[in-house]
Amino acid sequence: QKEVEQNSGPLSVPEGAIASLNCTYSDRGSQSFFWYRQYSGKSPELIMFIYSNGDKEDGRFTAQLNKASQYVSLLIRDSQPSDSATYLCAVPTLTQGGSEKLVFGKGTKLTVNP
Amino acid sequence: EAGVAQSPRYKIIEKRQSVAFWCNPISGHATLYWYQQILGQGPKLLIQFQNNGVVDDSQLPKDRFSAERLKGVDSTLKIQPAKLEDSAVYLCASSFQGTPYGYTFGSGTRLTVV
């Protein structure tokens, strides 16, 4: 099974700063990568996905992918206290039945201090 | 569009007892997933259904866990007998045709085994 590694943190940044969350993966053949946000006591919700090398921006969030280094990151600009959550990196992998399932990392807990 | 429904929201049982969780996916979603999320870890897939067939149950502890999706709609996950290490949040998710791009999670069932 594919491995997805994340720094468990916790990561603490002041309000307004850039938060950088990192993820590495073991399978060089992985094509797409997902970032989920999970508030305490809530279920994961999709923030964004990326499948091309380079950057993908969505509002204050930027996903960066480097397939050669097997590395994907999530940058949160102008961090807000409401961004405080655990961020999960996920990679699809094929099941025996030929469909796909998401394999998740352990997550990085982010705290944004006012 | 109604989301993924799960019940109960919380459950406390003693070890060696049995417990069942219920999930109703988004209407029209053929693929249903049960994930286990232990505190401080990322979600781990237990079983994946495509309609009423199992496509992946490689990480399901089959000596104590069972799941069914008889009519290809709602699903039940059962644990019998429960162990202390089964304490976790059990998340149900669904997607349209097994694509990870359309994953939607339910609110989860928090199980505590004492």
Cβ(B38)–Cβ(B101) below 8 Å: no
| pLDDT tens digits along B48-68 | 999 989 999 999 999 999 999
CB of B9 within 8 Å of a chain A CB? The answer is no
Predicted pLDDT at A2: 63
pLDDT in tens, A40-77: 999 999 999 998 889 999 999 999 999 899 999 999 99
Report the relative pairing of strands A85-94 and A33-38 from DSSP bridges: antiparallel
CB contact under 8 A, B55 and A45: no
Amino acid at A35: W
- The phi and psi torsions of B88 (rounded to 5 degrees) equal -175, 175
Per CB distance under 8 Å, which residues of A are interface residues toward B? Answer: 4, 6, 8, 32, 34, 42-46, 49, 88, 90, 92, 95-107
- Pairs of CB atoms within 8 A across A/B: 63
B39 touches chain A (CB under 8 A): no
Interface contact B41-A92, CB threshold 8 A: no
